[in-house]
């Protein structure tokens, strides 16, 4: 484990832009990286956690890293702080520069890495900036599916569908949420709509097949038909 102390020196403290730079730098290392300040310890790769600490000018923090590149991580982050995040000479607090797309990109990266909670936080931040952001609702829904929080997933997928009713992917997500609750009839309705909008939607065929297979009421032939179509359109299980 390697650690070092540093003092926030830039005029505006850790607002959105320096927080993003800090997280991007921390995330470029394999090691687990945390910062300690004000009696709290938070993940240095989480922009929401860092901004929630309200690190103002003059605040002393401790950077702690543990892993194969821990020394490099600590040195890079300390150098970033010592450089005042490139804000030398600024006399007024800068406006936050994080956009909906910034939050979506960070959320998607968290989702791919399996950090669904952090993904949800970033999708939620995107929705706060743009309350009719259908893709954020849909992707947050799928993160809830991964966490088996199906009621929340249904609510979010429903919002996505209402905002953009011609997007097949959103119905597929809604179907997955209903499937998690074993409400196969509702799930099949959603997958039907996804396939109507996109007749080549391999995942929707496969998921509908799973529902029909689970129902076990003379749907075995239909289920196999769906699996065959999914394979035809390139689905790989």
Instruction: Please tell me which residue in 14, 15, 31, 201 is annotated as part of the active site.
Output: 15
**Each residue of 126-138: b (16+ CB within 10 Å) or e?**
bbeeeeebbbbbb
Enter the tokens of residue 2. Answer: 């390697």
15 catalytic per annotation: yes
Residue 127 structure tokens: 């929705």
Give the 3-state secondary structure of residue 5. strand
Q: How far apart are CA 204 and CA 208, in angstroms?
A: 6
DSSP string covering 98-115: --HHHHHHHHHHHHHHT-
Q: Residues with catalytic annotation?
A: 15
């Amino acid at each position: 484990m390697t650690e070092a102390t540093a003092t926030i020196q830039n005029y505006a403290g850790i607002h959105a832009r320096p927080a993003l730079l800090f997280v991007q730098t921390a995330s470029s290392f394999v090691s687990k990286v945390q910062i300690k300040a004000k009696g709290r310890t938070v993940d240095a790769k989480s922009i929401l956690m860092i901004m929630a600490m309200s690190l103002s000018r003059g605040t002393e923090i401790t950077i702690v890293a543990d892993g194969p590149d821990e020394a490099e991580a600590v040195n890079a982050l300390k150098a970033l702080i010592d450089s005042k995040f490139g804000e030398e000479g600024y006399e007024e607090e800068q406006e936050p520069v994080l956009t909906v797309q910034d939050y979506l990109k960070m959320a998607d990266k968290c989702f791919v890495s399996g950090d669904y909670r952090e993904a949800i936080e970033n999708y939620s931040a995107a929705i706060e900036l743009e309350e009719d952001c259908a893709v954020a609702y849909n992707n947050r829904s799928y993160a809830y599916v991964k966490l088996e929080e199906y009621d929340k997933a249904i609510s979010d997928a429903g919002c996505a569908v209402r905002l953009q009713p011609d997007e097949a992917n959103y119905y597929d997500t809604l179907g997955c949420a209903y499937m998690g609750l074993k409400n196969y009839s509702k799930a099949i309705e959603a997958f039907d709509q996804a396939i109507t909008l996109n007749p080549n939607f391999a995942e929707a065929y496969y998921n509908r097949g799973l529902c029909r297979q689970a129902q076990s009421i003379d749907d075995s032939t239909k289920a196999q038909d769906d699996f065959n179509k999914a394979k035809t359109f390139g689905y790989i299980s």
